[in-house]
Amino acid sequence: MNIFKQFYKSIYSPKDIALFRFQGIGKTIVFVFLLTFISILPSIFYLSTALTTGIDTAKTIIKDELPAFSIKNGTPSTDTSVPVTIDKNNFSIILDPTGTISEDDVQDEGNAFALLKDEFVLATAGNYNSYPYSMLEGLEITRADLLTIIDTIAGSKGIIIPLISLVIFLLSSAASFIEVSVLALIGLALKDLFGSKLSYRQLWRMAAYSETLPTLFFTIMAAMKTPVPNSFFINWFVVIIVLSLAIKEIPKPKKSN
């Protein structure tokens, strides 16, 4: 059975998940990578869209609407003494030399670039990174320099997006393997409860395929930008139920007279 047919079967069939316990570990590992790739597709799509839109919007705002500013020897200097926030096309540019606005405030904006009192912050698709001005010690950056940097980033999108996507995939894959391993440990208790004879290796394979249904569900919700309350607990509840149903499909050993 090819991996895509296995994906389809594991959505609804605990019986097939139970049969997958006999296959090679390599194929199961590839399946975990496939699930991970599917799960991060919405994040990569929205990240790419946000980056492209954000670059174009940032150029327009900085050039035409943002007060003049400079950062020299790690210290910002602006023509305004109050925070300035400019929203355009679901992207925000924030200039705050007063320290009123925090990193968390920038993250709450969704997609934003902020020049704060001690650092600049970039937030995209729910993720954010901050960089202190002290990194620029000995350098001077003006509005014109920032526009040049943005142009450089725009020209490097073909490298930046795949690189960020790869990092997301690797981190998500590590999390997926940890989750499957923990679920297999839970399976050791479940198999005793149901009176089945299963090894940890077999349970690990079954646990991997038990992840399919919740992974598909949360991927669809992410694609629709629909938050799911208590998603962590719902995910674990579903995978444990699916694994339990799969273990129940295992024929019980015959009792000897």
What's the burial of 187, exposed, middle or buried (CB within 10 Å: 0-12/13-18/19+)?
buried
- Three-state SS at 80: coil
Shared domain for 102 and 142, answered yes or no, is yes
Sequence letter at residue 170: L
**Amino acid 46: pLDDT:** 87
Residue 20 placed within a domain: yes
- Same-domain check for residues 186 and 234: yes
Q: Within a domain: residue 254?
A: no
User: Is residue 190 assigned to a domain?
Assistant: yes
Are 145 and 215 within one domain?
no
Q: Are 210 and 242 in contact (CB under 8 A)?
A: yes
pTM of this prediction? 0.74
Strand partners, 69: 78
- Residue 248 CB neighbour total at 10 angstroms: 17
- Shared domain for 192 and 148, answered yes or no, is no
pLDDT of residue 120: 81
Lookup: tokens for 148? 């040049």
CA 113 to CA 237: how far, in whole Å?
A: 38
Co-location of 182 and 149 in the same domain: no
Beta pairing, strands 91-95 & 112-115 = parallel
What does DSSP assign to residue 83?
A: -
Which of 134, 155, 176 is the C-terminal boundary of a domain?
Answer: 155
pLDDT at 138: 67
- What are the 10-residue block averages of pLDDT along the chain, 257 residues in total? 91 94 94 96 89 80 78 74 80 81 79 81 73 73 81 85 93 96 95 88 96 96 91 95 94 66
Question: What per-residue confidence (pLDDT) applies to 163?
Answer: 92
Q: Say how far residue 166 (Cα) sits from the centre of its chain.
A: 11
pLDDT the model gives residue 188 = 94
SS3 90: coil
134 shares its domain with 173: no
Which of 159, 171, 163 lies closest to 37, judged by CA? Answer: 171
According to the model, what pLDDT value does residue 137 have?
67
Strands (E), the chain: 69-72, 75-78, 84-88, 91-95, 112-115, 119-124, 127-132, 140-142
The shares of helix, strand and coil residues in the chain, as percent rounded to the nearest 5, are 60, 15, 25
Range of the domain at 98: 64-155
pLDDT of residue 16: 94
The answer to whether residue 165 sits within a structural domain is: yes
- Domain count of the chain? 2
Q: Residues 41, 168: one domain?
A: yes
Joined tokens for residue 50:
């946000």
Task: Tell me, yes or no, whether 139 and 175 share the same domain.
Answer: no
